[in-house]
Structure 1
Amino acid sequence: MIQLKKLLTLALILFFTSSTLAGCLPGTGGGQLPENRVIIGGKNFTEQDVLVHIMATLIEENSDIVAERRGYLGGTNVVHEAIRTGSIDMYAEYTGTGWTVVLGEEAIGDPDQVYDGVQEGYENQFNIRWLTPLGFENTYGLTMRPDQAAQLGVTRISDLQEHAPNLVFGCTHEFLERPDGYGRMNEYYGLNFRSVTGMDPGLTYAAVRDGAVDVIDGFTTDGRIPAFNLVVLEDDRAFFPPYYAVPIVRQETLDRLPQLEEILTRLGGRLTNEEMARLNAMVDLERMRAETVARMWLEEEGLIP
């Protein structure tokens, strides 16, 4: 099953970089891009879409740059391949993801060391720059219904060890494949779940709330965790690395549009975990458009008129 997922992931990467996004590249069917245009990509979940619109709106309101928005492109491998090949110019990545998934390094707990490491690694290998962190950290957190967690006496991930053979684990397809994901986590904590179900990121929270699964790989800034009254288990053995969100941009794009870095730096440290969770909830629970939520937050922060 996991081998099939790897093949599907590879097929998606090839698809996006060779066909869907090909029309955006100079010299392809899409024609030559204007010098003042940037293409901003995003992964396939709500937070990423909100960040696409935050960055795009900030750029357009503070310059003559036209920002093309390409949200929901796919998982990490797809979006990384898009920026590496120039199909997109930038997106928001997470430090721990860049460190473990893209650079293939072992997870470490020091956030500054991880940030310095991805800066150096991406610049040397891909000519891609990590700019100023946005402020929040969206780490993985194993998430359960509070009544079941209380019944089992589970508050930490290590507490799951004796109960895992009777529990169903639900997670995103990407989590099944990541080096900081399902397989390594099980080995690290000695877990052996009864079964595992891969699903779309938008379905996991309802699945655990409704009892279709017992434990999920939650994102700690997801507004559905408090809204659905779920609990996040303590990563008591510090398995997951830090995952601070940071705009990353191709150096060629920064050379072409030097004002871009200064504009994006204005977002530095502005988004707290609580703020990001609030914006995510507006989209997921209040059914507001991500673009509307992004503009509202930028106005609240005084970053746009």
Structure 2
Amino acid sequence: MRVSKDKRWFKNPTNYLLGAYCIAVLLFFLAELKLFGLDQHLRATNQVLILFALLIMPFVIINMPSFIQSLTLRVSDKEFHVQLHELKSDFKHTINRVQQQVSTSEQSLWPMLAGEDILADQRLSQPNPELIIGTKSDPSQLFLSELLALAINHVEPDIRCVIRYPNGDSMHNFAELKYRWIDLYMDFTGTCIQYFNISHTADDDHTQCKSDEEIIETLNVYGQNLGIEWFPTLGCSEDYCLVMTEAQRDEHQIETLSDLKTKAKNLVISADPEFINRQDCLLGLVEYGINFKSVLPCGSDRYAALKTEEAQVFTGYESDPQLTKGQVVALQDTENFFPRYMALPMVSSKLVAAFPKLRDGFALLQGCMNTEDLNAAVSRITAANYDVQRAKAEALAIFNRTLQKKRVS
């Protein structure tokens, strides 16, 4: 074990930096004593020493936890206790959060800078038209995009559907749809109303929510100027929720989102970049009065910190296998903070104009499934490690069931 530690010491560049710092300070000290003739070559004025200290101090502070776990300072009979390892951890979390925010902004900025895809019309007018379906990174999107492709090919068999999975976050897909880099994707009502600052409630007390039809009608008013059209919902939802393990929930005595207003200050939330930057998510929760101790950014695996217990609260979807299997429990949203997130096709108006029959295909999907169907499909796809063939089979089962119901009716 000792040999291993020594090897790690030599591989750490910070140790070389601190060594150089100590040597430089020693040389300045010897020069001040006028030993070895160093005073002829080094001028350690106060200004030089101050600038040198300012230059090196950030590196020393950041890496002090490697050597010192805590520090106590006494000033005017008062003690200040600093946990240096927590300081380093908070610094890393802040850097990660900034990186995630920049990444989210970059995703949506690229389509806007590139402008409209000049090959979009060519793709759709060739003998075998190519239609591009965008997706987000969630496993439900893999399933829903396959369902869209089945509905399209049912009414337009010659169209070749290309599914881009994953294709980025909500804003990236929205921007790519507007500028025709993709032709459609499946989104959710609660997400779409954020693009235009549309309220999901019909009254000031937030007790009555708008219907899906009211929301879609309002969205299509905005969509006229953007070249985007929203179609009726599939009947299933993937609502946002905040979740905890049952043990953590009971320990902190939290049942509802509103309970977090007084208890979040002692809790860490694990959240993906999109949740961190959206008004209907973390930004809105802060305005709602929920301020967490810190935010632990995560990637596509939103439950990565579940086993390590680095976080106590997690962002969840109601289709998450962790939720449906009872690994975590959802906090009740008694005051309707979150809107409903009903799945619906979001389509380029030019695509529908070029292929009018697609309206019939999207109509087939209206009310084709419920949330339990979606949860079951997502659970099986996740268990199959996001296998595309598994997603195709799940989508085909739902679509065939829908066609059977249409024939019977």
TM-score (norm 1): 0.87
Task: Give 5+ residue unaligned stretches, structure 2.
Answer: 1-93, 202-208
Aligned match of 1:58: 151
Residues 98/166 of structure 1: CA separation in 2 closer, same or farther (3 Å cut): same
- SS of 2:262's equivalent in the other structure is coil
> Does residue 365 of structure 2 align to residue 267 of structure 1?
yes
> Does residue 242 of structure 2 align to residue 147 of structure 1?
no
Aligned match of 2:305: 207
Aligned match of 1:10: 105
Aligned match of 1:91: 185
Aligned match of 1:296: 397
Task: Give 5+ residue unaligned stretches, structure 1.
Answer: none
> Does residue 379 of structure 2 align to residue 281 of structure 1?
yes
> Does residue 278 of structure 2 align to residue 178 of structure 1?
yes
Instruction: State which drifts further: 273-282 or 284-293.
Output: 284-293
- SS of 1:9's equivalent in the other structure is helix
Of 64, 67, 73, 2:161 maps to 67
Q: Which has the higher helix share?
A: 2
Map Cα deviations across residues 186-245 of structure 1 (whole Å, 9 max, x no partner): 221x222111012123x1134335523111111112233122521111112211122211
Aligned match of 1:116: 217
Identity %: 24
Take 1:238 and 1:139, find their aligned partners in 2: how far apart are those partners?
12
Aligned match of 2:297: 198
> Does residue 129 of structure 2 align to residue 36 of structure 1?
yes
Aligned residues between the structures: 297
**Higher relative contact order by CA 8 Å / sep ≥ 6: 1 or 2?**
1
Quick one: which amino acid aligns to residue 369 of structure 2? Answer: L
Query: How many Å apart are 1:60 and its aligned residue?
Result: 2.0
- SS of 1:212's equivalent in the other structure is coil
Residues 50/159 of structure 1: CA separation in 2 closer, same or farther (3 Å cut): same
Instruction: State which drifts further: 140-149 or 105-114.
Output: 105-114
Take 2:147 and 2:316, find their aligned partners in 1: how far apart are those partners?
23
After superposition, the CA RMSD in angstroms is 2.6
- Contact 2:100-2:297 at 8 Å conserved across structures: no
Take 1:217 and 1:44, find their aligned partners in 2: how far apart are those partners?
15
Map Cα deviations across residues 137-187 of structure 1 (whole Å, 9 max, x no partner): 211110110111122221101112232122110111101111111022122
Quick one: which amino acid aligns to residue 163 of structure 2? Answer: R
Structure 1 or 2, whichever has the larger Rg, is 2
Pairing 1:220-231 to 2, within 5 Å after superposition: 220-231=318-329
- SS of 1:205's equivalent in the other structure is coil
Residues 239/31 of structure 1: CA separation in 2 closer, same or farther (3 Å cut): closer
Map Cα deviations across residues 45-99 of structure 1 (whole Å, 9 max, x no partner): 1111211111112322443222121221100110001100011111111112111
Quick one: which amino acid aligns to residue 60 of structure 1? Answer: N
Take 2:124 and 2:254, find their aligned partners in 1: how far apart are those partners?
57
